[in-house]
Amino acid sequence: MSPTETPGKKAKKRNSPKIASAVIVAFIVLFAALIAITLVRRNNGANGAAGANTAAAAGGARNGSAARNATAVRVTEVVTATIENSVVINGDVIAGNQVSIFPTVAGKLVETRLGVGDRVKKGDVVAMIDPSRPGEVYSSSPVVSTISGTILQSLCNIGDTLSTQSAVYVVGDLSSLRVETFVPERFVSSIKLGLGANVRLESLPGEIFYTEVSEVSPVLNPASRTLRILLRFVDRPSGSGAAKTGRALSRINRIDDRIKAGMFATITLVTQTRENVPVIPRASVINTYGSWIVFTVDENNIARQHEVALGIENEEFFEALSGVMLGDKVVSAGQNFLSDGDPVRILE
C-alpha cells in the first residue's frame, strides 16, 4: 500500500466491478424480458388469426359438406286422376252361338253337303244318313242344321257309321263373337253383368277391343276353382274409364272382320273405377313394418316422412286416401336412401 492510499479508497475500488456486473446482468434480464413479451404478443396475434381462419374454414367445409351430402332425388307432384282397379286373365274368342249338329237316326253317313267355312241356314240339310241294315232297306234320313251360321268343324267322313250321339258338324254364329274366360275364385265377388273389360289379341298387337260381361255362370268349376264368363264386343265406350261400356255391336255394326273364333285373348277386367282422386306413383311407396310410407320434399329441400293410407291401384299409381295433399312433392326416385329430415337435391 502506498503511503498516499487510505483504506476507504481501497474498498470503493474493490466494489465497483461488482456493481457494474450487476447492472449489466439486470439490463440483460430486462432486455430478454422485453423480447419475450414481444414474442408472446406476436404469437397470440398469430394464433388468433389462425383460429379465426380455421373457424371460417370449418364453417365453409361444413356448408360444403352439407351440400355434397344432400341426397339426389326425383319428385312427382300429387295430382287428381281417374284410377281403375283391374284383373288380367286369358281367354279365347268363340262363336256367340255354337252348336253341334247330330243325326236323328243311327246309320252310315252317305253324303255331306257342306265344308268348313260354308254358310248355313236354320233348317238346311247338311248331310244324309242311311239307316239300312242287312236285310232291311230304308230311305236315307237328312241331317238338319238347327241354327243359322257358319260351318266351324266337319267331324265325320262319308262311310262312317254314326249313332245319334255322333256329331256331324259344328255350326257357329260368327256375326256375334264372344270372348270366353274363366275367372279365379278370389276375383269372383267383383264379377257382374255389364262389367267392362279391355281385350287384346295376340294376332292384332297394339290394338284394344272393348267388351262387357254378357253371361256369368251360376256355379264355379270345383276342379279348377274358376267361374266361366262370356264377354260381348261393344263399341268404343263414352267418357273415361273402360268400365263405361258402350252399345253392343249388332250384325250390321259388327266387330272387326279380322277377329276370328279361336284367337287367344288377354282380358283386363275393370273391377272398380275412382274418378278425380289424389294419386301417387307406385314407385314412391315403401312398405315398412306393415305401414306404407312416402317422403315429400318441403320448401327448404328437406325430406319429410309420411304414413299414407292407400286405396285402389293399377300398374302405375295408388289412390292416396290420406297422408299427403294435392301439390305435395312426393319422392319417386331415391326414397330408399332417405330418413326424415335429410337434405335433398331435386334432379330435373
> Same domain for 282 and 339?
yes
Domains held by the chain: number: 4
d(CA 90, CA 228): 12
Residue 20: predicted pLDDT: 66
Least confident segment among 40-54, 249-263, 304-318: 40-54
Q: How far apart are CA 151 and CA 122, in angstroms?
A: 12
- Is it the case that residue 5 has pLDDT exceeding 60? no
Same-domain check for residues 337 and 261 = no
The answer, yes or no, to whether residue 9 has pLDDT greater than 60, is no
Q: What is the pLDDT of residue 270?
A: 84
> What's the pLDDT at 26?
72
Q: Pick the last residue of a domain from 232, 254, 274.
A: 274
Q: Pull the grid cell for residue 313.
A: 291401384
- Domain with residue 164: its CATH number is 2.40.50.100
- Please check whether residue 201 is in contact with residue 177, taking contact to mean a CB–CB distance below 8 angstroms: no
Phi, psi (5° rounding) for residue 288?
A: -120, 110
pLDDT > 90: percent of the chain: 55
**Grid coordinates representing 44?**
397470440
Cα distance between residue 93 and residue 91, in whole Å: 7
pLDDT at position 240: 38
Last residue of a domain, one of 172, 192, 227: 172
Three cell numbers, residue 242: 273402360
Give the model's pLDDT for residue 156: 93
pLDDT of residue 12: 47
Assign 67 a pLDDT band (cuts: 50, 70, 90): low
The confidence score (pLDDT) of residue 3 equals: 46
pLDDT, residue 137, reads 80
Residue 106 has pLDDT above 90, yes or no: yes
Averaged pLDDT of the chain: 82
For residue range 327-339, list pLDDT tens digits in order: 999 999 999 999 9
C-alpha dihedral (91, 97, 100, 104), degrees to nearest 10: 160
Query: Which residue from 339, 334, 333 is spatially nearest to 302, judged by alpha carbons?
Result: 339
Residue 59 CB partners (closer than 8 Å, separation 6+) = none
pLDDT band for 236, please (50, 70, 90 cuts): low
- Whether residue 345 is predicted with pLDDT greater than 60 in this model: the reply is yes
Residue 2 has pLDDT above 50, yes or no: no
| Residue 249 clears pLDDT 70, i.e. is over it | no
The residue to which cell 266351324 is assigned: 152
Domain check: are 90 and 183 in the same one? yes
Quick one: cell of 40? 408472446
d(Cα 214, Cα 229) in Å, to the nearest integer? 8
pLDDT value of position 1 = 46
The rounded percent of the chain whose pLDDT value lies above 70 is: 77
Domain final residue, candidates 146, 172, 198: 172
Residue-range definition of the domain harbouring residue 37: 1-69
Residues 32-54, mean pLDDT to the nearest whole number: 59
Residue-wise pLDDT tens digits, 277-319: 999 999 999 998 889 999 999 999 999 999 999 998 888 899 9
188 and 249 inside one domain: yes
How far apart, in whole angstroms, are the C-alpha atoms of residue 93 and residue 307?
45
Cell numbers given for 340: 326424415
Q: Which three cell numbers stand for residue 75?
A: 319428385
Stretch among 33-37, 38-42, 316-320 having the lowest mean pLDDT: 38-42
Residue 78 has pLDDT above 70, yes or no: yes
Shared domain check, 10 and 62: yes
- Same domain, yes or no, for 186 and 227? yes
Name beta bridge partners: 201: 204, 265
150 and 19 share a domain? no
The grid coordinates listed for 287 are 312398405
Task: Tell me: do 270 and 192 sit in the same domain.
Answer: yes
Pair 160, 244 in one domain: no
Segment 182-202 mean pLDDT: 92
Between 65-69, 75-79, 152-156, the lowest mean confidence (pLDDT) is in: 65-69
pLDDT, residue 256, reads: 73
Read off the pLDDT band of 242 (50, 70, 90). very low
**Amino acid 56: pLDDT:** 46
In angstroms, how far is CA 56 from the centroid of its own chain? 49
Residues 176 and 128: their CA atoms lie apart, in Å, by 29
Cα torsion 278, 280, 282, 285 to 10°: value is -110
In this prediction, residue 14 carries a pLDDT of: 52
